[in-house]
Amino acid sequence: MILEKHLPLARTATYDSEALRQWVLAHHDDIYRFMKHLTRHHETAEDLAQQTFVNAYQALKSFREESSMRTWLHRIAFREYIAWRRKRRLTFPLEVLQGRTDPRIAKVEGEVTLLGALHQLPAAHREVFLLHEVQELGVDEVAAVTGIKPGTVKSHLHYARKQLRRLIGDAYQEATHEAE
């Protein structure tokens, strides 16, 4: 069965349990993937995704359809992530991965390098990059989700791409230099 991305809000807002179930199913993977990229932790991502849907359900009657449902949910998810980050103040130490020779790590070296590089970016740049490049939101949608101006979104994207090229390039050069 093909799930609709935008169920009639009237059915959902009036506690139609099947409509609610389909609404969550239609958007859950997208929101979970976004949270997983931001937090890098399965359980935390799942918890934040669930809380996003609880918050969205509570605010459903206030959804004015000025943006897409997807953008609206990402904005709620982003706020939930920011609140979580403020409470935790977690960072990802790339140093933990350095010096490892486990072949399982070597197998996903490119992914680890990208993830490590992403987490070396300032949070605002990383978040904009993930929303635009991974979640495939447009510049205006990213601006709506984050509450920053479209020009600032473009600036953050430019900086993030530039830094990622530098960071991944440095990691690649170090790895090839060590192999020689």
At 72-123, the pLDDT tens digits run 999 999 889 888 887 765 444 444 444 444 544 444 445 556 677 788 888 8
d(CA 99, CA 45): 28
Domain boundaries of the chain, sorted by first residue: 1-90, 92-180
Q: Looking at 40-122, list the stretches that DSSP marks H as alpha helix, in order from N- to C-terminal side.
A: 42-59, 69-88, 103-107, 109-118
pLDDT band of residue 5 (cuts 50, 70, 90) is very low
Domain 1-90 has CATH 1.10.1740.10: yes
pLDDT tens track for 24-79: 889 999 999 999 988 888 999 999 999 999 999 888 877 877 778 888 999 999 88
pTM score, whole prediction: 0.56
- CATH class (in words) of the domain with range 92-180: mainly alpha
pLDDT band of residue 180 (cuts 50, 70, 90) is very low
Closest of 113, 147, 108 to residue 128, by C-alpha = 147
Closest of 83, 70, 92 to residue 26, by C-alpha = 70
Residue range 165-175: mean pLDDT, rounded: 65
Instruction: Return the higher-pLDDT residue of 157 and 12.
Output: 157
